[in-house]
Structure 1
Amino acid sequence: MFKKDALDNIEAPWLFQTDHQADVYNSYDPIILSGSLMQQTLDAFYDEIYKKFHAPAYAGKNFNALRDILTDLSWIINRSRYVVFFQNAEEILIKGQANALQGFLEILVSDRK
């Protein structure tokens, strides 16, 4: 069973699976991504991520830009931690390019030393 206090740890792992509702984690000010809004196209995939992260306007809709945006979060103001939830995660890119999802997950779990 996943324990919420794991979110206070800065050591790996950084990706967890839970059946809890996201509102259980409201004290962490989570970023909630909707898989159902990310299922059709890569544009929809990038749009949902960039919208919820409030990404800068210059963020390109390609994997390299996504990696750059998510591995340097210094452009986000007033946030000391990043807790991201995927609602309906099983729907992400089911009608699009699933390899982009794999790349996105690799970014999320990569080591940031």
Structure 2
Amino acid sequence: MNSNEFLITHLGPRHREAFIALVPTRAGRRPIAQFNDTLSGQDDGLCLCLVAETRDGRLLGVVRAPSPVGQGDLAADLVIAESDAVAGALLRELGLSLAETTQPRSDAASLSATARR
């Protein structure tokens, strides 16, 4: 594993809620939360992973997962790059901008995304 990569296993409910809030409904279809750390849009095969937060509450990034992670995939681990460029590229692809703070997150509301017009 490179020094700019790290391994995560399962994100907790707070992270899952934050991630679901991050990706807006597309084409009137509600995204399907398949497991703690992935979200899949059934219409286009969208599958993303929210990277775990640092101890001080900073979001490290997001990365496209190779496939949806289902409830049966309890041992699934994901290797993700710690890179603003990774997160930025995916969010641009989705037409989103990420608003984040460096303050510790008290709830999912402190992570938000807005659609770029």
User: TM-score by structure 2 length?
Assistant: 0.29
Query: Which structure is higher in helix share?
Result: 1
User: TM-score by structure 1 length?
Assistant: 0.30
The answer to which structure, 1 or 2, has the higher relative contact order (CA under 8 A, 6+ apart) is 1
Query: Which structure is higher in strand share?
Result: 2
